[in-house]
Amino acid sequence: MDNSAIAAVFEELAELLEFRGENPFRIRAYQNGARAIRDLDEPISEIAADSDRDLAELSGIGKTLAEKIGVLLSTGSLPQLIELRQAVPEVVIAMARIPGLGAKKAAKLHDELNIKSLDDLAAACREGKVAAIKGFGKKTESSILDGLAIAKAASERIYWAAADKIVAELSEHMRGCDGISQMQWAGSYRRCRETVGDLDLLAVANDRAAAMDHLEAYPGRASTIARGDTKISIRVAKSFQVDMRLVDADQFGAALQYFTGSQAHNIHVRRIAKERGLKINEYGVFKIEDDTRIAGATEEDVYASIGLPVFAPELREDRHEFEWAQKNELPELVELDQIQGDLHMHTSATDGQNTIREMADAAIERGLKYIAITDHSQRVTVAGGLTAERLLEQWKIIDEVRPEYEDRLTIFKGIECDILEAGGMDLPDDVLAQADWVLASVHFGQKQPRDQITDRILGAIENPHVDCIAHPTGRLINRRDPYAVDMDAVMKAAKEHGKFLELNANPARLDLNDIHLAAAKRLKIPIVVNTDAHNIDGLDVMRFGILQARRGGLTAGDIANTLDLKDFLKLRKRLGQ
Ligand code: DGT
Ligand code: CA
Ligand code: CA
Ligand code: ZN
């Protein structure tokens, strides 16, 4: 056990004793001991092993703690801690961490209201039961509710798209700070992960304090978590954390490389550097033999000094990027402006908000050359899904509309046809046969066991009229797990039957995910990136899909709707569609 692990044991012990209402002097002794151990600059295990030295004589430790440290070092745990953990319910500890509550009040609430979870506590507050307890008032009650909301939101990672909004606003605000000469967002945001835990901003400023003051003056700041000389952390939008680090200009590239991560990527970079006699950290690249600094100002220099290319941030996960770099095979990742079509969108005929013409005009504005209108089928009653009759009517309208868009935009007569719970398609084959483009998707029976839901999707893939499986795993990020579907089997079948798989670009879906996309690429299954737009603004989510595609290592060649119409139709013919 290292010093910080031992210190953590005493901190927990002190916290638990506080719940038991133990002697405050004893509690303080554990807290002081923990701090003393954290401040030690040599491993406590070495001191304990040295027969000439005595742990009990170290400042802040004493005889009782020295004994307990001995037990910890030889057994790895402390019986007293295990007992205490059982005696103090977890929910009480969680409650005590809510700002303004503390151990005593938490224990009291637990005993008097029989609270078993934080949800129980929220309910009790809303029902006014907390304010009714002696020593608590209306004010405490409402501050508990606020604290609960913050704790809950702070524990959740946000969608990349939501982080991007914060980034846009904060960037705009920070551009108003004259003293900042360089600024870049790093971390998972720069790597375009589907969710972001916190934001990491790097900046070079001639006056660091002024730069921090400027960040603190951001109107959307809720609070400041901590502020030091080179780093400041604030909360925005109630709970979301933003870190800003101030670095020297000649270290900016090294810091950017380091704080972009991922950690796994950085570990691999460090290993390669070491093989070349180099050391890399957030301050620069150094020769191990004499510590001379050979790079640091730009990320290009940093990577080049270790003989590596500047990896697209989306690839920095230590998956295949180093292998590709070695073979000089880094993929030229797809770009938004390469997209020429969008093959999944809804209109006011079902749960969309705009007409076919409005969607078509908006698609042209976004540079698209072809779209598919794919409203829901009848099974999706809540969305006003189309019966065969209504679908045929919609196609008549498309026939009328088409001449207006000749040469500008091709409109496919499509459908997003449900795969029924018992298997089979929601519309008859003879109707599907008349469509230009059939998406098949699961909206009901999403919790079926693996075999059952896999069979349903395989059945759709085998249907000769189906062209593409939409949102193949059904997950909603942070909200709903993917179906239990066997994706290996789905991919194999898609390959065998010449079907497309969708990458749904909705930021809450991003389905397929990056790992599945990489697998599809390896199998040479063409991907279609679609917006699933329900109104004209919905067409703008395409860029989130493109970022996810890039994380999967996809190039334009892996994505069918980067093709122009002629080549897209050729590809479909080749697939046998
Ligand atoms: P997040 O915030 O959870 O979405 O993910 P990241 O990747 O932004 O992680 P974060 O904010 O904790 O740190 C930013 C980057 O800094 C991370 O990707 C790599 C680097 N980093 C942070 N801590 C460490 C560390 O202990 N070791 C190494 N090698 N890199 C670290
Ligand atoms: Ca981060
Ligand atoms: Ca961070
Ligand atoms: Zn849809």
- pLDDT tens by residue, 269-290: 999 999 999 999 999 999 999 9
CB contact set of 206 (below 8 Å; sequence gap of 6+) = 179, 181
pLDDT tens digits, 375-400: 999 999 999 999 999 999 999 999 99
143 lines ligand 1 (CB under 6 A): no
Atom 10 of ligand 1: nearest residue by CA position? 187
Query: Residue whose CA is closest, atom 28 of ligand 1?
Result: 263
| 357 and 494 assigned to the same domain | yes
Residue with the nearest Cα to atom 30 of ligand 1? Answer: 263
- Percentage of the chain with pLDDT > 90? 81
Longest Cα separation, the chain: 95
Please state, in angstroms and as integers, the Cα–Cα distance from residue 531 to each residue in 51, 273, 526, following that order. 69, 42, 17
Residues of 85-106 as b/e, b for ≥16 C-beta within 10 angstroms?
eeebbebbbbbbebeebebebb
| pLDDT score of 96 | 82
In ligand 1, the atom with minimum distance to the C-alpha of 270 is 29
pLDDT of residue 98: 81
Residues 388, 390, 392, 394, Cα dihedral to 10°: -140
Ligand 3: centre distance to CA 200 (Å): 5
Q: Tell whether 214 and 72 lie within a shared domain.
A: no
Which pLDDT belongs to residue 544? 98
Same domain for 171 and 128: no
Q: Which of 157, 199, 241, 263 to mutate to test the pocket of ligand 1 (most atoms within 8 A of CB)?
A: 263
Q: Does the beta carbon of 200 sit less than 6 angstroms from any atom of ligand 1?
A: yes
**How many H-runs (helices) and E-runs (strands) does the chain carry?**
24, 17
Residue 473 in contact with ligand 1 by CB distance below 6 A = no
Ligand 1 atom 17 nearest Cα? 261
Q: What pLDDT is recorded for position 154?
A: 61
pLDDT per residue as tens digits for the range 457-499: 999 999 999 999 999 999 999 888 899 999 999 999 999 999 9
Q: What is the DSSP letter of 483?
A: P
> Which residues is 371 bridged to in the sheet?
342, 411
One domain, residues 382 and 478: yes
Of 198, 228, 246, at which residue does a domain stop?
Answer: 246
Site to substitute for ligand 1 among 160, 185, 188, 195, most atoms within 8 A of C-beta: 188
* Ligand 1 pocket residue status of 262, Cβ below 6 Å: yes
Report the predicted TM-score, pTM, of the whole model to 2 decimal places: 0.79
Angle between helices 79-87 and 3-19 (to 10 degrees): 40
Q: Based on the domain organization, do 261 and 365 belong to the same domain?
A: no
Residue 120 lies in a domain: yes
pLDDT, one tens digit per residue, over 46-61 is 999 998 999 998 888 9
Mean pLDDT of the chain: 94
Domain check: are 146 and 239 in the same one? no
Distance of CA 336 from the midpoint of ligand 3 (Å): 28
Do 445 and 560 lie in one domain? The reply is: yes
Q: At 305, which CATH number? A: 3.30.210.10
The predicted structure's pLDDT at residue 93: 81
Distance 503 CA to ligand 3 centre (A): 29
Q: Which ligand is nearest to the CA of 506?
A: 4
C-beta of 266 in contact with ligand 1 (< 6 A): yes
The closest-lying atom of ligand 1 relative to the alpha carbon of residue 188 is: 8
Q: Which ligand is nearest to the CA of 158?
A: 1
Cα 206 to Cα 227: distance, rounded to the nearest angstrom: 18
User: What confidence tens digit (pLDDT) does each residue in 133-153 have?
Assistant: 988 889 889 888 888 877 676
Under 8 Å between Cβ of 452 and 327: no
The reported pLDDT for the residue numbered 88 is 84
CA distance 375 to 358: 15
Measure the CA–CA gap between 92 and 94, rounded to whole angstroms. 5
Domains of the chain: total: 5
347 CA → ligand 4 middle, Å: 10
Residue 498 CB less than 6 A away from ligand 1? no
What does the alpha-carbon distance between residue 145 and residue 138 come to, in Å, rounded to a whole number? 11
The one-letter amino acid at 523:
L
- pLDDT tier at 326, thresholds 50, 70, 90: very high
Domain check: are 15 and 121 in the same one? Answer: no
Contact 257 CB / ligand 1 (< 6 Å):
no
Lowest mean pLDDT among 151-155, 323-327, 455-459: 151-155
Both tokens of 148, joined, read 């609960």
Average pLDDT over residues 571-577: 95
Q: Give the pair of three-digit tokens for residue 86.
A: 């059982």
Helix (H, G, I), strand (E, B) or coil at 148: helix
Residues in a beta bridge with 224: 234
Question: Which bound ligand lies closest to the C-alpha atom of 504?
Answer: 4
Q: Are residues 127 and 52 in the same domain?
A: no
Contact criterion met (CB below 8 Å) for 69 and 33: no
Q: Which atom number of ligand 1 is nearest to the Cα of residue 187?
A: 8
Residues 294 and 170 in one domain: no
Atom of ligand 1 nearest to the CA of 189: 8
Mutation test residue for ligand 1: of 259, 268, 269, 270, the one with most atoms within 8 Å of CB: 259
pLDDT attached to residue 155: 67
Q: Where is pLDDT greater, at 150 or 228?
A: 228
CA-CA-CA-CA torsion for 172, 174, 180, 186, nearest 10 degrees?
-90
Question: What is the CATH number for 559?
Answer: 3.20.20.140
The answer to which of 32-36, 214-218, 319-323, 326-330 has the lowest mean pLDDT is 32-36
Q: Is 264 helix (H, G, I), strand (E, B) or coil?
A: helix
Task: Give residue 530 CA to ligand 4 midpoint distance, Å.
Answer: 9
Give residue 107's pLDDT: 85
Strand ranges for 138-239 from DSSP E: 158-159, 180-185, 195-196, 199-205, 221-227, 231-236
Determine, yes or no, domain membership for 331.
no
Question: Does residue 478 line the site of ligand 1, with CB under 6 A?
Answer: no
Report the pLDDT value the prediction gives residue 146, as an integer from 0 to 100: 84
Band (pLDDT 50/70/90 cuts) for residue 200 is: very high
Residue ending a domain, among 30, 53, 87, is 87
Range of the domain at 146: 90-154
Round to whole Å and give the CA distance between 259 and 521. Answer: 29
Ligand 1 centroid distance, CA of 187 (Å): 6
Instruction: Check residue 153 and give its pLDDT.
Output: 64
Strand partners, 480: 476
> So what's the pLDDT on residue 475?
95
The set of residues, in sequence order, having a beta carbon less than 8 Å from that of 188 and lying 6+ positions away, is 195, 196, 197, 261, 262
Residues 190 and 60 in one domain: no
Q: Give me the mean pLDDT over the 14-26 stretch.
A: 86
Could you identify the atom of ligand 1 that is nearest to the CA of residue 157?
4
The pairing of beta strand 195-196 with beta strand 158-159: antiparallel
Please tell me whether residues 223 and 262 are part of one structural domain: no
8 A C-beta contact, residue 10 and residue 31: yes
Mark which of 116, 136, 154 sits at the end of a domain.
154
